[in-house]
Amino acid sequence: MARPKKEIDKKNFENLCGIQCTQEEICQFFDVTDKTLNGWCKRTYGHNFSEVFAQKRGMGRISLRRAGFQLAQKNPSVHIFYAKNFLGMADKQEQIITTVEDLTPLAEMLNAEDPDDSMEAVLEET
């Protein structure tokens, strides 16, 4: 006599996938092994767990994106996050790199005996 099959509620399963639960978490929720869950997915959906999960988690992502978009309309920090991560915007920072050779005229001016003469020399070089 075979052992009775564990009951897995389809609606609960889809909700757990929608909130991005891992396979391990879903198995713990239903108190089943990953093998049992995979077999149930094959019988119920005709695909293994990974394929079903990939499909069902999409609805959770849509809900999360909707909630994030609504929050971004009210919260500037969230708006900036969405702009950077989904619209490709970024904070641009200019970097000016100065080498020792670029500072040579300045060093000569500072070391000169007559600062006015050295300033004229620096201005003539540029």
**70-103 b/e with 16+ CB inside 10 Å = b?**
eebeeeeeeeeebeeeeeeeeeeeeeeeeeeeee
Select the more confidently predicted residue: 76 or 126.
76
Place of tokens 């239903």: 30
Higher pLDDT, 109 or 48: 48
Q: Where residue 116 falls among pLDDT bands split at 50, 70, 90?
A: low
- pLDDT above 70 (res 98): no
Provide the pLDDT confidence category of residue 58 given band limits of 50, 70 and 90: confident
Residue 69's contacts (CB-CB under 8 Å, 6 or more residues apart) are: 82
Domain boundaries defined on the chain: 10-86, 94-126
Nearest to 62 by CA among 19, 119, 11, 98: 19
The mean pLDDT of 75-89, rounded to a whole number, is 83
Give 104 or 16, the one with higher predicted confidence: 16
Q: Which helix (H) or strand (E) holds 25?
A: helix 23-30
Instruction: Return the number of other C-beta atoms located less than 10 Å from residue 3's C-beta.
Output: 5
Residue 115 has pLDDT above 60, yes or no: no
108: confidence class by pLDDT, cuts 50, 70, 90: confident
* 35 neighbors 49 (Cβ within 8 angstroms): no
| pLDDT given at position 30 | 96
